[in-house]
Amino acid sequence: MRILLISFIFLAGFWTCTTSEKSRIENLPAATGKPGDLILILDSVQWKGELGHELRKIFKAEVPGLPREEPLFDVIYVYPRKGYTLLTQIRNLVFVFTLDQQTSGSKIMKENFTEETLDRIRMDSSFFLVTSKDEYSRGQEVMYLFSDTQENLIKKLRQNGKRIQDYFNAVEKKRLNAALEKSTTTRGITEALRKEFDFEIKLPFGFKVADKQQDFVWLRLMDNRVDKNIFISWKPYESEYQLLPDSLIHWRNEIARKYLFDDPDNPESYVVTETSVPFKPLKATQVNFNNRFAMEMRWLWKTNNNSMGGPFISYGLVDNEQQRIYYIEGFCFSPGKDQRETIREFEAILWSFKSSVSKGKP
């Protein structure tokens, strides 16, 4: 709540609207750009220097668990100008400035802020980040990064880089979740899974049930660009050691060898975890998954006969009500194409998973 209050106070000087905030937003154009696009506005001297280097480390960091290097965001640098162009209607927008810079670009940035706000930046070293929504377009997220000196802002970026990344990752996931909520074509699948297995998952248009067993469900979407796969498996919960990465990978390989094949007529085409690619280690993270402890894993897969391969993201979690442990995963096959946004989409889909739904549990 504190950051939202600060945003409201901070942005009060930006707008002299006579209509309500709701009407203002409704009259804005819709945000443009592809998922992962991000506009970064700051002075060119700072962009080319140490500050720009720190910003690129944050926003262009490599996405873990992909076979090729891909950045977290597609960053577009923009020099600050009066009367911003259509580029400021992009879905993610970041303004950066420091008060010790006297270049023309920095002066333009500072003109957009009240003297009261500039005084607070000078006096309060903890005040370096503000977020806002729907400034130039509907559905847009805006972040301001600032400090009294460039040196101090760089320190703040080094301390809070993960927080900044997580903010925009959460924003993109929220947009995907909103699209999932609107999807009606796959509600029949969601309902069928709820009735038969007492869990549910929300799916985008195009997904179909590829296989269903007493302990396994495979959901798949195939088109000419990408083969998207989601599977869910479950078994009795016996020990917290089942949630360790090694245990989950072992279980994953058992599931895949039993049920997942490139060619069902070729028993050697089963899916395995790819562990031999140099410099592509398993990324395992403990997360709070809708108020449940879970282990998130990002890594690579391939078929045993090396005919296919790609990245996956997965979660292992426990339903104490059912005394089940679940393994849920999204993996894709799209050779030669970027896969960051597919994995981001899988993350949003997997986080819609709920078990014990007949009893109203999360």
Domain definitions of the chain by residue range = 2-181, 184-359
Least confident interval from 87-91, 108-112, 358-362:
358-362
Average pLDDT of span 36-55: 96
Strand partners, 62: 71
Look up residue 350 and give its amino acid. Answer: L
208-213 and 216-222: which strand pairing? antiparallel
Tokens of 148: 């009294």
Strand partners, 138: 30
Kindly tell me the burial class for residue 252, based on how many C-beta atoms sit within 10 Å of its own C-beta (0-12, 13-18, 19 or more). buried
pLDDT of res. 308: 94
At residue 214, φ and ψ (nearest 5 deg) are -70, -15
Higher pLDDT: 182 or 13? It is 182
* Predicted TM-score (pTM) above 0.95: no
pLDDT of res. 103: 87
> Rounded CA gap, 330 and 181, in Å?
19
pLDDT digit string, tens, across residues 268-317: 999 999 998 888 999 999 999 999 999 999 999 999 999 999 999 999 99
> Rounded CA gap, 123 and 127, in Å?
9
Q: Mean of the per-residue pLDDT values for the chain?
A: 91
pLDDT of res. 16: 43
**Secondary structure E strands in the chain:** 37-41, 74-78, 92-98, 129-133, 141-147, 199-200, 208-213, 216-222, 227-236, 271-274, 283-289, 292-303, 309-319, 324-333, 354-355
**For the chain, what is the radius of gyration of the CA atoms?**
23
Instruction: Give yes or no for residue 3 having a pLDDT over 60.
Output: no
pLDDT digit string, tens, across residues 229-243: 999 999 999 999 999
Average pLDDT of span 44-63: 97
The topology under which CATH files domain 184-359 is Protein Transport Mog1p; Chain A (3.40.1000)
pLDDT of res. 123: 94
